[in-house]
Copies of this chain bind each other. A is one copy, B any other.
Amino acid sequence: MLQRSESLDPVFHALADPARRSMVERLSRGPASVSELAQPLEMSLSAVMQHLQVLQESGLVRSEKVGRVRTCRIDPQAMTQAEQWLNERRKSWERKLDRLGAFLAETDPNKER
């Protein structure tokens, strides 16, 4: 069970920072250069590059350099994997609640028969 979702470690780690989430938010609206990503963040270009590296290592973002411009874009697979993990846990928890509700209704002493 621990091994199966190992690749989620770097994804959730990358998402645990507000600057990196802001970069993902920007990229979900379309590709952007590193300077475009840096613009709303009030941090140095080198700090942005470090965050970008974490995002790339997690698989959430990929980038390509053409001439002097590095263009970044979302790689959706890692995001979908993280979303699915959360979705499955939530559904499992809701099913548990449903079964509990059904059990309580079934064993309700005030229930009309």
List residues of A whose CB falls within 8 A of some B CB: 1-2, 5-6, 8-13, 15-19, 21-22, 24-25, 27-30, 40, 74, 76, 79-80, 82-83, 85-90, 92-93, 96
Say whether A90 contacts B80, CB under 8 Å.
yes
Please give me the residue from chain B that is nearest to A2 by CB atom: B18
Q: Looking at the complex, which one of B40, B83, B85 makes contact with A90 (CB distance below 8 Å)?
A: B83
Please give me the residue from chain B that is nearest to A40 by CB atom: B1
Nearest CB of B to A72, in Å: 13
Q: Looking at the complex, which one of B5, B79, B89 makes contact with A86 (CB distance below 8 Å)?
A: B79
Nearest CB of B to A40, in Å: 7
Nearest CB of B to A74, in Å: 5
